[in-house]
Amino acid sequence: DAGVTQSPTHLIKTRGQHVTLRCSPISGHKSVSWYQQVLGQGPQFIFQYYEKEERGRGNFPDRFSARQFPNYSSELNVNALLLGDSALYLCASTRTGGHQPQHFGDGTRLSIL
Amino acid sequence: QQQVKQSPQSLIVQKGGIPIINCAYENTAFDYFPWYQQFPGKGPALLIAIRPDVSEKKEGRFTISFNKSAKQFSLHIMDSQPGDSATYFCAASDESAGGTSYGKLTFGQGTILTVHP
């Protein structure tokens, strides 16, 4: 079975633009979480979605938003991009919500110029 | 209180050595402690996880030791190989947390392990 897939793999944007990142969970998994990993640091929790509803939210500004679709795939949207948003954005899926083992994709590398 | 502190930042061992990575936490509500391995250009991969009702767990060459009273846990890699060279992250979560912390994993800062042939 395919693992968590994320697209695109790399993205370059300029300050002030917006970006949409996409994630498809492992088949049969109904929950998706998003993390931001700045170079040299551990991932930071942004959101968890389960059954198309936001269930958890980390300490990120309202410029960050997400949604989950009926097929359980998800999008992360970031508006008004700042230089500090440059990071690897990781998506993780679990079979149900909560703290079941989270399986990560390889991420989207976002660079802000 | 939500932090997980990981040490050392980097670690170099010879092939066959036993690198040890340590993590400490403050939040006594944490009750699930996974370890992840990350290679350059890849996402974190779950290695092994432990819950506070056991003091040690082994899976292959990887062993987690857990000290609930000290609020510390560590990863040991037996007979380390050059292929084990990667960044290792400890993490923690509160499985009963609701609200905004639902599903949240709190990660340590990571340890870059290099195993020389």
Tokens representing A88 are 């690897």
Tell which residue, B115, B95, B117, has the closest CA to residue B104: B95
| Cis before B34? omega within 30 | no
Q: Calculate the average pLDDT of chain B.
A: 93
Q: What is the pLDDT of residues B26-53, one digit of tens each?
A: 999 898 999 999 999 999 999 999 988 8
Which residue of B100, B102, B107 is in closest CB contact with A43? B107
Query: What is the average pLDDT across A80-88?
Result: 97
Residues of A in contact with B36 (CB under 8 A): 104
Find residues 28-47 of chain A whose CB sits inside 8 Å of chain B: 31, 33, 35, 40-45
Q: What is the pLDDT of residues B7-23, one digit of tens each?
A: 999 999 999 999 999 99
CB-CB under 8 Å, B43 with A56? no
Percent of chain B with pLDDT over 90: 80
* The predicted structure's pLDDT at residue B59: 94
CB-CB under 8 Å, A33 with B100? no
Can you tell me the distance from the alpha carbon of B31 to that of A77, in angstroms, rounded to the nearest whole number?
31
Element (H, E) at B76: strand B72-77
Q: Which residues contact A10 (CB under 8 A, 6 or more apart)?
A: A108, A109, A111
Bridge partners, residue B20, by sequence: B76
Does residue B101 surpass a pLDDT of 80? Answer: no
Task: Tell me the CA distances in angstroms from B10 to A30, A86, B42, one per residue in order.
Answer: 36, 24, 19
Does residue B98 surpass a pLDDT of 90? Answer: no
Are B79 and B63 in contact by the 8 Å Cβ rule? The answer is: no
Residues of A in contact with B46 (CB under 8 A): 101-103
Q: What is the pLDDT of residues A28-61, one digit of tens each?
A: 999 999 999 999 999 999 999 988 899 889 999 9
User: B91 CA to chain A: closest CA distance, Å?
Assistant: 9
